[in-house]
Amino acid sequence: MATAINAPTAPDHLSPAYQKKWLATYSARLTQAKVDFPDNESAQRTTALKAANALLAVPAPTSAAEIDKLDEWQVIDRKTIVVKGISTRVCVTADGRKYSFEIPAAK
């Protein structure tokens, strides 16, 4: 008989599909952690949470175009600003990192 898994709530800023993926990862890793650490519930939950939260890693953009390719849940703020006549794409990712890249002029 399978035991119910009391998982934490997935982060609210994720899309519903990604919340399901986060929860599935947590549940799968918790099941394995119960085998790996049979008498240590703290280690089980910590291991499962680390595995699920690894899905939240945001790849570092290397250009203005890559900022635009990030999923909505990966970005807290994304905008274009003009500084001294130069258009710049800036963003703050969900992990708190800040990026800015000059937008290449149209040719």
> Could you read off the pLDDT of 77-90 as tens digits, one per residue?
999 999 888 999 99
Residues 6+ apart with CB under 8 A from 33: 43, 44, 45, 47, 48
Q: Are residue 20 and residue 51 in the same domain, yes or no?
A: yes
Judge if 43 and 27 occupy the same domain.
yes
Give residue 1's pLDDT.
41
Residue 35 lies in a domain: yes
The DSSP symbol for 106 reads P
2 within domain boundaries: no
Work out how many domains the chain is built from and give that number: 2
Structural domain contains residue 4: no
Helices (H), 1-107: 16-36, 41-53, 64-69
91 assigned to some structural domain: yes
- For the chain, the average pLDDT equals 91
Residue numbers of the domain that contains 74: 64-102
pTM of the predicted model as reported, rounded to 2 decimal places = 0.72
Predicted confidence band at 15 (pLDDT cuts at 50, 70, 90)? confident
Judged by DSSP in three states, 63 sits in: coil
Claim to verify: residue 32 and residue 50 sit in the same structural domain: yes
71 domain residue, yes or no: yes
